[in-house]
Amino acid sequence: MTSYEKLFDRLGLRDWCDADAADSPMSMAQLLAQTNEGNAESSGTLPFPSLDTLHEACNAFPQTRDMTISVEQGFLSIKDSLKFVLDPLTQPLSWILEGALFTFMATPWWILIPLLVLATWLATRTVSITVFVASVFLFFGVIDHLDVALQTLSIIFVCTGFSVLFGVPIGIMMSRSDRMQQIMLPILDMLQTLPSFVYLIPLIFLFSVTEPKLYGIAIILYAIVPVIRLTDLGIRLVEKDVIEAADAFGMTDRQKLYGVQLPLALPNIMAGVNQTIMMSLAMVVIASLVSAPGLGVLVLRGIRNLELGVGLVAGFGIVLLAVVLDRCSKAALQRIDPTHKTD
């Protein structure tokens, strides 16, 4: 630090450095040191000075903490306006999640489970998968995990439904407009690479932790990306010869979309729905941090209380649900498109 102070003095910048000297927030190293036994020393391994080091030598340089505080203040300054707009728009998601949870919990198991098994049979027409689904529900019942498994399933159904409801139209718009694709791709890249926990940070400031839409929005934002990408890709991969033939028959854009492009893109769209289901399940445990019920709560309990068996069995239950939904969606896709090969 001393060497940098001398450098600024020799350059004649001392007056500039001290012009706006004021109380500064603690540095990033000091902030992190609060949870590290008071050790505020930086690693010092970088071949160049950090902002905090330059700030210590010259007050005119901002600290890293100045940037994080600006982000916090910027978000807090628009929080009330954002909440005023988003609250009524997202309230239906809370109602639907509460309704789905109530329906799955209030319906007697001897009605709900046969209905789910019947739905599996109608969607797949495959005896082995139907028997497997029935066996999984029987297993959950035997180990007293049926209620939490059904809670997780209801959340997945609702969030996947919303993801498809919004994702497919966005994918269609991207496929019909290069400009729209250029705008959406960076957003999708960000949603796909943003760490899962980071989704919760702004949502916690906007909504109450007890509101179901808090975890519902987090799951939808995390899971919606595949269905958008694969809808766009599927429509763009439709052969040009087929589109030219549709043009030769005088089909309008709407007729081409619903009569040619969407049917041919359906295998890709269904693959996107399958991936969306898997990503929704991956987010369930993290969403349980903000009051999402289901198997994720048991996984967190296992971590928090070091109850190894509780956490592992609940995690295995999530895997079973993922396998069930994966096999059902792939079998349903194969019924729609017999040429589609499943793993």
Is pLDDT larger for residue 23 or for residue 309? 309
Domain contains 289: yes
pLDDT, tens digit, 9 for 90 and up, residues 96-108: 999 999 999 999 9
Tell me which of 126-140, 174-188, 214-228, 251-265 is least confident: 251-265
Q: How far is CA 89 from the centre of its chain?
A: 19
Domain count for the chain: 2
pLDDT reading at 124 higher than 70: yes
What is the pLDDT at residue 68?
84
Instruction: Give whichever of 27-31, 132-136, 240-244, 269-273 has the largest mean pLDDT.
Output: 132-136
Q: Specify the CATH number for the domain of residue 170.
A: 1.10.3720.10
Q: How far is CA 286 from the centre of its chain?
A: 10
Residue 194 in 3-state DSSP? Answer: coil
Residues 121 and 261 grouped into a single domain: yes
Rounded to whole angstroms, the Cα distance separating 67 from 277 reads: 37
Residue 238 in 3-state DSSP? Answer: coil
Domain contains 342: no
Whose CA is closest to 234, among 274, 203, 265, 270? 265
pTM of the entire predicted model: 0.83
Rounded to whole angstroms, the Cα distance separating 280 from 272 reads: 12
Rounded to whole angstroms, the Cα distance separating 200 from 64 reads: 23
At position 104, the amino acid (one-letter code) is F
What is the pLDDT at residue 333?
78
Residues whose CB is less than 8 angstroms from the CB of residue 125 and which lie 6 or more positions away in sequence, other chains included: 331, 335
Residues 268 and 326 grouped into a single domain: yes
Residues 6 and 122 grouped into a single domain: no
Rounded to whole angstroms, the Cα distance separating 309 from 76 reads: 41
Residues whose CB is less than 8 angstroms from the CB of residue 127 and which lie 6 or more positions away in sequence, other chains included: none
Residues 34 and 150 grouped into a single domain: no
Domain contains 341: no
Domain residues for the domain of 45 are 2-62
Share of the chain above pLDDT 70, in %: 91
Rounded to whole angstroms, the Cα distance separating 14 from 228 reads: 55
Burial class (CB in 10 A: 0-12, 13-18, 19+), 6: exposed
Tokens coding 72:
């916090």
Q: What is the secondary structure of 248-260 as a DSSP string?
A: HTT--HHHHIIII
Residues 220 and 250 grouped into a single domain: yes
pLDDT, tens digit, 9 for 90 and up, residues 300-314: 899 888 889 999 999
Residues 24 and 104 grouped into a single domain: no
Residues 192 and 317 grouped into a single domain: yes
Residues whose CB is less than 8 angstroms from the CB of residue 28 and which lie 6 or more positions away in sequence, other chains included: 52, 63, 64, 65, 68
Query: For residue 132, what are the CA distances in angstroms to 121, 129, 146, 335?
Result: 11, 5, 15, 18
Residues 210 and 239 grouped into a single domain: yes
Query: For residue 25, what are the CA distances in angstroms to 10, 71, 132, 201, 293?
Result: 27, 14, 59, 22, 39
Domain contains 323: yes
Residues 85 and 52 grouped into a single domain: no
Whose CA is closest to 298, among 170, 113, 130, 140? 140
Residues 51 and 146 grouped into a single domain: no
Q: Are 148 and 297 in contact (CB under 8 A)?
A: yes
Rounded to whole angstroms, the Cα distance separating 155 from 214 reads: 12
Residue 309 φ/ψ, nearest 5 degrees: -65, -40
Q: How many helices (H) and strands (E) does the chain have?
A: 16, 0
pLDDT, tens digit, 9 for 90 and up, residues 163-184: 999 999 999 999 989 999 999 9
Residues 50 and 83 grouped into a single domain: no
Tokens coding 42:
């930086």
